[in-house]
Structure formats: C-alpha cells, structure tokens
Structure 1
Amino acid sequence: MRVGVVTEIKPAERRVALTPAGAHELAGRGHEVLVQAGAGVGSGFADAAYIGAGARIVEAAEQVWADSELLLKVKEPIEPEYELLNGDATLFTYLHLAAAPRLTEALVASGTTAIAYETVTGANGKGLPLLAPMSEVAGRLATQAAAYFLQSPLGGRGVLIGGVPGVAPARVVVIGGGVVGTNAARVAVGMGAEVTILERSIARLAELELLFDGRARVLMSDALTLREEIAHADVVIGAVLVAGAAAPKLITREMLAEMRSRSVIVDVAIDQGGCAETSTPTTHDDPTYLVDDVLHYCVANMPGGVPATSTRALTNATLPYVQALADHGVDGAFAKIAGLSDGVNVRAGQITIPAVAEALAASHAAA
C-alpha cells in the first residue's frame, strides 16, 4: 500500500505523523512510504533520515495527497487542504469534528474514509489509546503554560506557582480527572502548587485519591463546587473530555466576574470547542487574550510546542494501527484490531459518529 505523510500547515504545528523509524517498519513490510519534503524537519528529522529508512521524498503536498491510499497526518486538514481530500484514500489523523462543521462537510463531500485518532478505543471499548499520549503531553504542558503566564509581565497575577517559604503557592483547580487532568495535577503538585481536582466519576475519584495520597484535594465536580473553587483559583485548567463530542461549557461568562483578577484559564478542551463559554482557539504565536480581566490560554495544538517529544510519542501509539491498515486495508484492519473501527468518523459520504452529526446539525440550526 502507498502510505503518505504530508507536512503539517496548521500555524506553529511542527509535529509529523510518522518518524523515520516508523517509515522503516512500513517499508520493511513491503509498503511504499511517501513523505513530503521537509515534513519531519520541525521534529528534528531530516529528509535524509526518511530516505535512509526506505521512504521516498516527494516535493509537492498535492502529489502526496493524490498518490496515497493511506494518508497520515497529525492535525485535522485546514481549509487550503479541503480540495486535496481524496475519496479513494483513508485519512488517519486527529479530527475533532464536533468542533469543526466546515471540515466535516468537506470530508462528507469528498467521500474520504476519515479515521480519527481521538475516537479509536482500546480493548472492550475502554480507553482512548491514540489520544492518551498527546493528552499526557498537553496535561503536563498546561501546568507549565499556567506557571509561565502567571507572571505579571505576561498578563498574569504575578504569582509564583510554588510560592516560597512564608508565602502561599498558587491555587490550581483542574476540571476533570482523566489523562489530561491527572498529568496537569501531577506537574502542579510537583511544582509545589495547592491543587484541587474536580471529577464526576465516583470510581475515578477513588483512583485519584489513592494516586495523589493527600498531595491534592479531590472533590466531586458539581456546579456549586466548581463555582466556589474557581472563584478562589489562580489557575484553572480545563481538562474535560466527552469522547467525540463537543466539550460541555462548564465555565460561564458570569463566573469570570467572580474569579481573581488576572487569574489564568488554560482550556485544554479547546480542540473540542472548549469548556469555557469565553474560550476561542489561539496559537503558539499568539497564545493568550483577556476577557473580563481573566487571562485565557487556548492553544489548539499544545503538544505541537514540543514536537521532538510529541512526534515520537504519537508514532509509538499509532504505528501498530497504521501497519494493520497498510497490511490489511480498512475492513481487514478492523477485524485485526478491536476498537479501530470506533475511529471512523466519516465514510462513503456519511457521518458515522452520532455526536458529530448532532454538532453539525446544531451548527446549521444556529447559522
């Protein structure tokens, strides 16, 4: 099978969907690997490394899109790429379609089979194995970003996240105790912050209590508790996930008026629309903005800021699925790997994820 890898063109996105080591594995199985020139440079991989691994370098993105039977990306196609969507190919990437109605329509119109990393499930339908590595990165980065933007010259409250002897540390509230939230809380605890995790699952609350062993407060997330906690926070990290669906708007505009002046919201859920009513996507080049004196950090591709780490972690997770798709085709791969079929969001001009169909219908109703 011809497997293609294109250069990411989303602003400040430096990851690549396949490492040279991954290309070597595919070439060794008899597949033709096409890599757009310069695709790996942002992650530290020169074209020569791919050539040495058995891949073929192709200059033009248009040729990679047209010639590939399986097209690998990191981030969802953006508008200049819509016309390149190939109805004879399978696209394997992060999609987050519930927050992207125009992309959804483009995929439907193209006839492309679109498999989203973020909705592939693990054994017995549990877990999100291809979302997990980037969630780990994003969670850890969320606390780093919060600590950085708490500095007064950058718009924050001027609070050192870990404090110093005799001076209280920052109060960090993490909304959601999944992979993102757990990693954000771990880093915040390690930096010396006063950390509270809000979570709705009883079972997960018990797991978090054992994991943090008193180093973080673990509370049931309800509307009243959420409101009280964020009112006294220096940092709020939104780590909410409803797989395949738009994130719930848990932080309302009204709540911002009760928050501390120049406190920081890091909305990691922004790929799915964000968990604050005032969240709108930003980039690494222009990451923050103020609303009602609350600083918002809503970078939509946070792991793209550490591409050397993120690219390797992503390929480690996706390669077995890529190999199955290349070896056996789409339906054959579904039979080989449980949970891969859950990743299909669009196929043969049809949306296959109810939450995405509902989000598209809602966007049309609002238009």
Structure 2
Amino acid sequence: MKIGIPKEIKDREFRVGMTPAGVAALTARSHQVMIETNAGVGSGFSNDEYIQAGGKIVNAPEDVYSQEMVIKVKEPLPSEYALLHSQLILFTYLHLAADRQLTEALIQSGSTCIAYETVQLDNGQLPLLVPMSIIAGRLSVQFGAHYLTKQQGGSGVLLGGIPGVRSGHVVVLGGGVVGTEAARMAIGLGARVTILDVNLQRLGELEALFGSRVQLLYSTASNIAEAVTSADLVIGAVLVAGKRAPTLVKRELVQRMRSHSVIVDVAVDQGGCIETVHPTSHTVPVYEEAGILHYGVPNMPGAVPWTATQALVNATLPYACALADFGLEALGRDRTLAQGLNIQNGRIVYQAVAEAFPDLPTSIRSS
C-alpha cells in the first residue's frame, strides 16, 4: 500500500503520525511511505532518518494525500479538505461529535475515516486514546499550576502549599485515564485533591490506588457545586466514547468560583464539560471569563511532541500495519479496529456521531 504522512498544520502541533521506526516497520512489509518534508522535525526526527528507514520525502501535501492511506495525528483542517478523496483511508484523531463542519467535509469527500479515539477493545478500553490521555492528564496539572501564578493572571496559589499555609485544592471531574493521571500529578505536587465520578466501581478502584490522599465523591450536581466553588484548579476529564461531553459545570457555577482560579478542560476536543470553555490554541492558550482563567487547548500533548509522538505510534502502529497489509478487510478481521470506523461511502457509520448529527446521512453498522 502507498501511505502518506503529512506535516501537521494545527497551531503549534509538533507531533507527527509516524516515527522513522514506524516507517521502517511498514517498509519492511513492502509498503511505500511518503513523508512530507520536515513533518517529523518538531518531534525530533529529521528527513534523513525517514529516508534511512525506507521512506520517501515529498515536498507538498498534495503528494501525501494522493496516496491510498494517510496516517496523521489531528483532524484535517479546512485547508486540507480539498485534498481528501474517495479512494483514501484516513487514520487519525477526529472527535467528530463536536465538529459538524469537519463531519460534513469528510462525508462529502467520500473518504473512509477511521478515528483513533473510537478504536475500542471488548472491555471498553480505548487503546489509541489512552497514551494521549495519560499525557493530557499529567499536563493539565502542569499547565494549571503555571496559570495559577500571579504573573499569568492566576490567584497566586502554590498547589503544594508550604508548612503553615494550606495547599491548593484541585478538583477533577471524571475518574478515567485523564482524571487518574491529573490526580497523580496533583498529589505529587502536594495539593488537596477531589475526584468526582458517577461510576462507583471506578471510585472504589481509585480508593485502592490513592487511599486517603484524595477525596472521592459521587458526581451529583450538589457535590460538583460544593467542590468547584472551593477549587483553585478544576480539571475537566469527562469522556463518553465518541460522544459530545456532557456539560457538568454551568456558567452560573463558574461565576461562583474563587476569583482568578483556573479551569483546564481536557474534554474540550469533545465539546467540553464546562459551559464557559471554548477551544483555544497553544499560541493563545487561556482567556478570562467571569474572573476565571480558562485553558481549552484541544491538542495538549502537542506541547511535548518528543514523548507524545513515540507514545502514539507505539499504540497505532499495529493497526496501521493491519490496514496497510489488508486494506479495509482489516476491519472485518479485527472488531477492535472496526470500532474506529466513523465515516464510509459518504455516510456516518458510528452511532455516537450519528446521534450528534441526526440530519446528516447515516448507515449504522450492526453490532
């Protein structure tokens, strides 16, 4: 198969869809891999390294998208829509339930679109989302602590406190991978941590993991309100696979938060779980509303591309190899990979996306 690896064009997105080691694995299986020039530089990989791995460097995105499959990191942006075509397999993060424009563009392109974030194991785990969720969870506290400093517009709270001065309060909405990693980082800094979740079994698992170092609450409106209004840093870490994130914190509740506290909504790529959050960028990551700093960068792991690219490719490469070896037959061979299929033949084929856009053409596959 002929495979294209484009240079990411989202704001300050320095990750790349394939490492030189991944290219070597694909070319060893007799596949041809075209890498857009300097696509890997931001992650620490030179053009020469890709050439040595058996890849070919091409100069224009048109040369990448004209291939049979494109493997990338983030969703195509409007300037890339015209490059999509009906013979293309697109393998990347998509997060369609929160992006009607992209969904319509992919439908119109006729491309077969497989989303990393909905590739799902029988036990419900999302193997291609987990590595980036780990990174985003850890970064959420790192960035949150940074923006709490007075020079960045925050309240001036040191999350870890010092002897004689209480530590900062971090509230984590959601106890999945992102929430767990956020809590791990916050605990490491010495913060007081509260995690809220609706899954009692998960709360029990978190108790076994963290013990008395965190406060674990069932996620009700009253518990959320009490926790959020006492927080210095709120982390939105809610995930419903493939669906738009539910809104857990309304605008009125944000207005009751402590002045110059910070919100980091990791769920922003699925629409966000905090009403006042909207997507930002690495160039302009925060804005103030109701006296609260909001961080809404949807591609947080792009800040640490050397780590994030390798972690991502470690997870995606086996599925990329299967698609390269067998084409769309790979979907029939592996139902985990098949769960990633979101759009095919001009129709939405993933249930959660179809529910988000009931007026768009759908063809829901049987389970």
Settle same-fold status: TM greater than 0.5: yes
Q: Which of 341, 354, 357 is matched with 2:354 structurally?
A: 357
Per the TM alignment, residue 362 of structure 1 is displaced from its structure 2 partner at its CA by 7.8
Per the TM alignment, residue 358 of structure 1 is displaced from its structure 2 partner at its CA by 2.4
Q: Retained in 2: the 8 A contact 1:230–1:236?
A: yes
Q: Which residue of 2 aligns with 1:232?
A: 230
Between the aligned partners of 1:352 and 1:239, the Cα distance in structure 2 is 26
Q: Which residue of 2 aligns with 1:7?
A: 7
**For residue 335 of structure 1, what is the amino acid of its counterpart?**
G
Structure 2: unaligned runs, 5 residues or longer: 361-367
Please state if 1:203 is matched with 2:201: yes
Q: Which residue of 1 aligns with 2:98?
A: 99
Q: Which residue of 2 aligns with 1:329?
A: 327
Q: Which runs of 4+ in 1 moved over 3 A?
A: none
**For residue 354 of structure 2, what is the amino acid of its counterpart?**
A
**DSSP 3-state at the match of 2:279:** coil
Question: Structure 2 matches for 1:210-229, cutoff 5 A?
Answer: 210-229=208-227
Between the aligned partners of 1:205 and 1:227, the Cα distance in structure 2 is 19
Between the aligned partners of 2:357 and 2:81, the Cα distance in structure 1 is 17
Q: Which of 339, 349, 359 is matched with 1:342 structurally?
A: 339
**DSSP 3-state at the match of 1:279:** coil
**For residue 185 of structure 2, what is the amino acid of its counterpart?**
V
**DSSP 3-state at the match of 1:196:** strand
Per the TM alignment, residue 41 of structure 1 is displaced from its structure 2 partner at its CA by 0.4
**For residue 342 of structure 1, what is the amino acid of its counterpart?**
Q
**DSSP 3-state at the match of 2:213:** coil
Please state if 1:88 is matched with 2:87: yes
Please state if 1:39 is matched with 2:34: no
Question: Structure 2 matches for 1:48-63, cutoff 5 A?
Answer: 48-63=48-63
Between the aligned partners of 1:9 and 1:44, the Cα distance in structure 2 is 17
**For residue 2 of structure 1, what is the amino acid of its counterpart?**
K
Per the TM alignment, residue 354 of structure 1 is displaced from its structure 2 partner at its CA by 2.2
Please state if 1:78 is matched with 2:77: yes
Per the TM alignment, residue 257 of structure 1 is displaced from its structure 2 partner at its CA by 1.9
Between the aligned partners of 1:287 and 1:60, the Cα distance in structure 2 is 29
Q: Retained in 2: the 8 A contact 1:321–1:337?
A: no
Between the aligned partners of 1:111 and 1:86, the Cα distance in structure 2 is 6
Distance 1:224 1:144, change over 3 A: same
Q: Which of 177, 187, 210 is matched with 2:185 structurally?
A: 187
**DSSP 3-state at the match of 1:213:** helix
**For residue 59 of structure 1, what is the amino acid of its counterpart?**
N
Query: TM-score under structure 2 normalisation?
Result: 0.97
Deviations 1:241-262 (A, max 9, x none): 0110101111100001211000
**For residue 138 of structure 1, what is the amino acid of its counterpart?**
A
Between the aligned partners of 1:85 and 1:181, the Cα distance in structure 2 is 35
Per the TM alignment, residue 125 of structure 1 is displaced from its structure 2 partner at its CA by 4.8
**For residue 79 of structure 2, what is the amino acid of its counterpart?**
P
Structure 1: unaligned runs, 5 residues or longer: none
**DSSP 3-state at the match of 1:214:** helix
**For residue 129 of structure 1, what is the amino acid of its counterpart?**
P
Q: Which residue of 1 aligns with 2:277?
A: 279
**For residue 118 of structure 1, what is the amino acid of its counterpart?**
E
Between the aligned partners of 2:70 and 2:256, the Cα distance in structure 1 is 47
Q: Which of 238, 262, 265 is matched with 2:263 structurally?
A: 265
Q: Which of 150, 167, 171 is matched with 1:173 structurally?
A: 171
Q: Which of 287, 303, 306 is matched with 2:304 structurally?
A: 306
RMSD of aligned C-alpha atoms?
Answer: 1.0
**For residue 354 of structure 1, what is the amino acid of its counterpart?**
Q
**For residue 84 of structure 2, what is the amino acid of its counterpart?**
L
**For residue 120 of structure 2, what is the amino acid of its counterpart?**
T
Number of matched residues? 360
